[in-house]
């Protein structure tokens, strides 16, 4: 596994780390994703998408709150990726429930570990 962690300075209640894994990018998010922090997350995710990874994994296991603004960030990332895949890692109802109740899980693959998300091939 080749990875180079890049910590993004903490702003408010959000900490984001980006690392590379071969042709994939893994964005790990900790804290609250709300109206205040979602724009910061969107900037980071957009920058990663612009680097054209084959797969983008967003790890939300350390997220304590996911608002509709956070869901919009994920939906926009899915649209920007085109044929490439967005995969979300979630083990908490805090993040899984909003994704499933809005139907975003129909387009965005949901996984319980980063390894599963990376190993899933082209299936989402």
Six token digits for residue 2: 């080749």
Q: Where residue 12 falls among pLDDT bands split at 50, 70, 90? A: low
Count how many residues are written for the chain: 124
Among the four given CATH numbers 3.40.1410.10, 3.30.750.24, 3.65.10.10, 3.30.70.2740, the one describing domain 6-119: 3.30.750.24
CA distance 82 to 70: 19
The full set of domain ranges for the chain reads 6-119
**Cα gap 12→33, rounded to integer Å:** 10
Q: What is the pLDDT of residue 7?
A: 44
pLDDT tier for residue 3 given thresholds of 50, 70 and 90: very low
Sign of CA dihedral 97, 98, 99, 104: positive
**Which residue, chain included where needed, has tokens 């890049």?**
6
pLDDT digits (tens, 9 = 90+) for 66-81: 999 999 999 999 999 9
Digit-coded pLDDT (tens) for 38-97: 999 999 999 999 999 999 999 999 999 999 999 999 999 999 997 769 999 999 999 999
Flag whether pLDDT at 25 surpasses 60: yes
Ranges assigned E (strand) in 5-98: 6-11, 14-21, 24-33, 55-66, 85-89
Statement: residue 33 has pLDDT above 50 = yes
């Amino acid at each position: 596994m080749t990875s180079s962690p890049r910590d993004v300075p903490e702003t408010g209640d959000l900490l984001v780390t980006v690392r590379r894994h071969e042709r994939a990018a893994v964005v790990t998010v900790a804290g609250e994703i709300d109206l205040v922090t979602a724009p910061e997350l969107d900037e980071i995710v957009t920058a990663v998408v612009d680097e054209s990874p084959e797969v983008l994994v967003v790890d939300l296991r350390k997220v304590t709150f996911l608002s509709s603004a956070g869901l919009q960030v994920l939906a926009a990332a899915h649209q920007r990726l085109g044929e490439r895949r967005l995969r979300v890692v979630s083990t908490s109802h805090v993040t899984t429930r909003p994704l499933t109740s809005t139907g975003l899980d129909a387009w965005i693959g949901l996984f319980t570990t980063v390894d599963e998300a990376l190993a899933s091939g082209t299936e989402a």
